[in-house]
Structure 1
């Protein structure tokens, strides 16, 4: 983020912008503070922290030009400073996505990232959005994260709404999102997106019949949502 001198002293402003490749490191730092420590598939796993492959995959979405960040502008000693207060990472997916994810899950095996990919593959297969909506491609949201000190200010909602506008501009007919958290599900429902699949964590077990994810309440489900653009 940059600093610059200004004369006026406006109220705090939050703007939404496309993330540039040069900002990847700052975005990752933000996710390590405001996303991963609360993300149910991480805190609900035996490992309780992300694999490097998890972080690499999410940050790689920035290359598609469809990831956004919310930036707060504040005046500090007469200088306009900016800091990231929200992040949305998204990228394209196609009708072979479920097959691709299951292959990736096999490749990564029993690692934390491999297990995450496996449950996401099941969600993709069972939601069946390409047949359900008769589309050949979709824009998929992988991460929505907001600075905890600013939650309740509709930053997550603004990020998703802005992404819908961007998705239309980029020619996507559909946007989808896997909500692993109770709070992200509530936000998505308020936006009017369709719930197209539900996986209850208590029912999701490994080959030995053991529950894979045990996140704290109120996180009980992974819900997949979709909306036409």
Structure 2
């Protein structure tokens, strides 16, 4: 087995990280496996600027092999109550038309409706946005190992809570095994466009999004 080391995701990793996501995440994320041509461009200047701002918080981790190549990642950031409200306002500025707009609208709504901060009475949280394990190292427990490292990082930074939006059954199982509980869940089939059509149709067994959380 390849020797795997977990370390901080750093700004100088940005180019490699985007390439890693293109090869190992975007074609495997359940939401994006909805049938159809979605014309989604994963690498844009806007996405790079947004990702870089999060990376600079020093709360994201990557797993690298013995050659230093990124093989898995846990992209995390600090969030406060207004972040959910800000995202919700932004996605509501325009009516969703493109598929990816619907995805952002759906996820922002779930986060808002979870009432995460009110439920736990906290003012900040470490939020795990993307957990991804590369194709060559799957089924080796690396996802669980990464999340465990993120939990310890959150504790060391004094966060009272860790949370994540699980878009797949597999990530939900990982979080549950590590002590997180589901505080809000919505089925993909419940989200429909103005004509009443189900928009997001991931393959089985991914049927819902679960907001998972754990006090630290």
Structure 1 residues not aligned, in runs of 5+: 1-10, 74-80
- Match runs of 1:135-214 below 5 Å: 135-214=122-201
Rate the CA distance shift 1:66–1:207 in 2: closer, same or farther, 3 A: same
Counterpart residue number, 1:124: 111
RMSD over aligned CA atoms reads: 1.9
Q: After TM superposition, give the deviation of residue 45 of structure 1 in Å.
A: 6.3
Q: Distance in 2 between matches of 1:82 and 1:49?
A: 32
CA contact (8 A) 1:51 1:113 kept: no
**Which structure 2 residue ranges, 5 or more long, are not aligned?**
none
Residue 96 of structure 1 aligns to a residue whose secondary structure is helix
2:38/2:100 contact within 8 Å kept: no
Distance 1:108 1:139 in 2: 28
In structure 2, which of residues 59, 69, 79 is the aligned counterpart of residue 66 of structure 1?
59
Q: Is the 8 A contact 2:73 2:131 kept in 1?
A: yes
Return the offset for 1:164: 1.1
Task: List 4+ stretches of structure 1 deviating above 6 A.
Answer: none
Contact persistence 1:58–1:142 (CA under 8 A)? no
* Distance (whole Å) between structure 2 residues aligned to residue 184 and residue 39 of structure 1: 11
Determine which of 19, 41, 44 is the counterpart of 2:34.
44
Give the length in aligned residue pairs: 212
SS in 2 for 1:202: helix
Contact 2:99 2:199 (C-alpha < 8 Å) held by counterparts: no
Partner residue in 2 for 1:6: none
Partner of 1:94: 80
Aligned CA distance change for structure 1 residues 176 and 50 (closer, same or farther; 3 Å):
farther
Residue-by-residue CA offset, 1:182-209 (whole Å, 9 max, x unaligned): 2111111111201011110111112221
* Rounded Cα–Cα distance in structure 2 between residues aligned with 1:100 and 1:92: 14
Residue of structure 1 in register with 2:16 after alignment: 26
Larger radius of gyration: 1
Q: Is the 8 A contact 1:173 1:228 kept in 2?
A: yes
- The structure with the largest strand share of the pair is 1
What is the distance in 1 between the residues matched to 2:161 and 2:35?
A: 31
TM-score (norm 1): 0.85
Query: Take 1:89 and 1:59, find their aligned partners in 2: how far apart are those partners?
Result: 11
